[in-house]
């Protein structure tokens, strides 16, 4: 019985490991790549040519395709054309021993994630594989959130709720269109919250709820006058009181279609760890974890974005401010992980820009 349970646990573990399909007619190159990626604990299937790869793709789900371009039979690009007819989201890294601009352009047009010229730089290859897998995970998360939302909608009149959700998304765009300085704010807050989620131990379900809450957290600002939202000077006490109403307004707008977890994250994202926030003055662990994460991501975007009344902070300056406010404004247990994730993702973005 014990051996049987061990086998089952091993199978479960293998099911969640990233799965890669490696396609190359050169056995030496395949062996080199497999040995190079072995410490990363990926599941790797091999194919010697495009037709064999297509057969494997028809039977299995892969997170990443690594493929040579020039192979006997159909080429790597011809194989990708067939793949794209049935799967628009599969992440693909192509490699070749013969750099060719026209081929590279065609690969990009087919949605190839990366294009590498042999001989391989081992560290660069591992880094590019990890980045491609990260994008694959993000796409999967986005798709799962969409499926989850559709399931919520179908529970109580699918057509009405879908229409309502689409209207809410339109309203988010309308809010950000009211002020050029906040354009893209909700998308960035979502990105920063997901940076932290990917580097923490929160569950997939929690991350999905946080992602949706972050996207919709400011919907209540639609009812605030432009003169207040776009004011360059200090707000009066009355104006600030109006601004502080937006979390509760968001809550009321979204209550018909959102779960309690998402609603609580939205309602309490302006609460503070020390209890001096709003709307209810919650403190410490009484603030839902999702609200603490979205609140920190919201503040980070405010610090690092340009406004008519202030310059954008540098990453280092924003991190210094976040660390200074740990234990007062922000959850001191979340701050270290958020800072680490922010630095890591910014470094990866800079490196990707340099490589590109």
Domain assignment of residue 185, yes or no: yes
Residues 234 and 326 in one domain: yes
What pLDDT score was predicted for residue 251?
Answer: 92
Residues 94 and 197 in one domain: no
- Cβ-Cβ contacts under 8 Å for 85 (sequence gap 6 or more): none
What pTM value is reported for the model? 0.54
Q: What CATH number should be reported for the domain holding residue 295?
A: 1.10.3210.10
Domain assignment of residue 149, yes or no: no
What pLDDT score was predicted for residue 155?
Answer: 55
- Cβ-Cβ contacts under 8 Å for 203 (sequence gap 6 or more): none
Residues 27 and 95 in one domain: yes
* Three-class SS of 323-350: HHCECCCECCCCHHHHHHHHHHHHHHHH
What pLDDT score was predicted for residue 11?
Answer: 47
User: Three-state DSSP class for 114?
Assistant: strand
Contact between residue 179 and residue 225 where contact means Cβ atoms under 8 Å apart: no
What pLDDT score was predicted for residue 282?
Answer: 97
Domain count for the chain, please give it: 2
Residues 333 and 268 in one domain: yes
Domain assignment of residue 150, yes or no: no
> How buried is 8 (Cβ within 10 angstroms: 0-12 exposed, 13-18 middle, 19+ buried)?
exposed
- Under-70 pLDDT residues of the chain: 1-15, 99-102, 104, 142-182, 307-309, 347-356
Domain assignment of residue 111, yes or no: yes
Which helix or strand (DSSP H or E) is residue 19 part of? strand 19-23
Residues 206 and 298 in one domain: yes
CA pair distance 132, 120, nearest whole angstrom: 16
Which is nearest to 335 in space by CA: 346, 312, 319?
319
Residues 82 and 164 in one domain: no
Give 124-168 pLDDT, tens digit per residue. Answer: 888 888 888 888 787 777 666 666 665 665 555 556 556 566 666
CA pair distance 326, 337, nearest whole angstrom: 12
Catalytic-residue membership of 221:
yes
- Cβ-Cβ contacts under 8 Å for 10 (sequence gap 6 or more): none
Give 52-104 pLDDT, tens digit per residue. Answer: 999 998 888 898 899 888 888 888 888 888 888 878 788 888 887 776 666 76
What pLDDT score was predicted for residue 354?
Answer: 47
What pLDDT score was predicted for residue 92?
Answer: 87
Pairs from 199-207 (Cβ < 8 Å, separation ≥ 24):
199/337, 199/340, 199/341, 199/344, 200/337, 200/341, 202/289, 204/141, 204/144, 206/261, 206/289, 206/290, 207/141
From residue 156, how far is each of 145, 146, 189, 208, 212 by CA, in Å? 18, 16, 29, 20, 19
What pLDDT score was predicted for residue 96?
Answer: 78
Q: What CATH number should be reported for the domain holding residue 62?
A: 3.40.50.2300
**Can you give the residue range of the structural domain that contains 45?**
2-134
User: Three-state DSSP class for 166?
Assistant: helix
Q: List the catalytic residue out of 27, 118, 178, 221.
A: 221
The token pair that represents 340 in the structure block: 């680490």
What pLDDT score was predicted for residue 2?
Answer: 46
> What's the alpha-carbon Rg for the chain, to the nearest Å?
24
Bridge partner list, 44: 20
User: Three-state DSSP class for 46?
Assistant: strand
Residues 75 and 222 in one domain: no
CA pair distance 72, 76, nearest whole angstrom: 10
């Amino acid at each position: 019985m014990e051996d049987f349970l061990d086998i089952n646990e091993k199978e479960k573990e293998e099911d969640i490991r990233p799965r890669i399909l490696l396609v190359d007619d050169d056995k030496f190159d395949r062996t080199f790549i497999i040995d190079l990626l072995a410490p990363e604990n990926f599941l790797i299937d091999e194919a010697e040519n495009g037709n064999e790869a297509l057969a494997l793709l028809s039977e299995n789900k892969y997170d990443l395709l690594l493929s040579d371009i020039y192979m006997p039979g159909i080429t790597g690009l011809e194989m990708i054309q067939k793949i794209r007819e049935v799967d628009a989201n599969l992440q693909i890294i192509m490699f070749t021993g013969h750099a060719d601009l026209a081929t590279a352009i065609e690969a990009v047009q087919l949605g190839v994630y990366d294009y590498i010229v042999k001989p391989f730089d081992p560290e660069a290859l591992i880094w590019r594989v990890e980045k491609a897998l990260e994008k694959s995970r993000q796409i999967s998360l986005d798709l799962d959130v969409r499926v989850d939302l559709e399931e919520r909608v179908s529970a109580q009149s699918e057509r009405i709720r879908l229409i309502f959700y689409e209207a809410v998304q339109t309203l988010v765009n309308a809010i950000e269109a009211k002020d050029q300085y906040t354009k893209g704010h909700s998308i960035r807050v979502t990105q920063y919250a997901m940076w932290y989620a990917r580097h923490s131990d929160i569950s997939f379900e929690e991350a999905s709820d946080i992602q949706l809450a972050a996207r919709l957290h400011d919907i209540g600002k639609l009812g605030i006058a432009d003169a207040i939202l776009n004011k360059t000077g200090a707000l009066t006490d009355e104006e600030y009181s109006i601004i502080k109403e937006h979390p509760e307004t968001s809550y009321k707008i979204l209550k018909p279609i959102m779960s309690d977890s998402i609603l609580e994250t939205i309602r309490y994202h302006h609460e503070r760890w020390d209890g001096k926030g709003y709307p209810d003055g919650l403190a410490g662990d009484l603030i839902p974890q999702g609200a603490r994460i979205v609140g920190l991501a919201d503040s980070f975007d405010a610090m690092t974005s340009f406004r008519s009344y202030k310059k954008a902070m540098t990453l280092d300056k924003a991190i210094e401010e976040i660390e200074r406010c740990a234990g007062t404004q922000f959850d001191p247990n979340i701050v270290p992980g958020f800072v680490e994730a922010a630095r890591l993702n910014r470094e990866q973005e800079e490196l990707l820009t340099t490589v590109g």
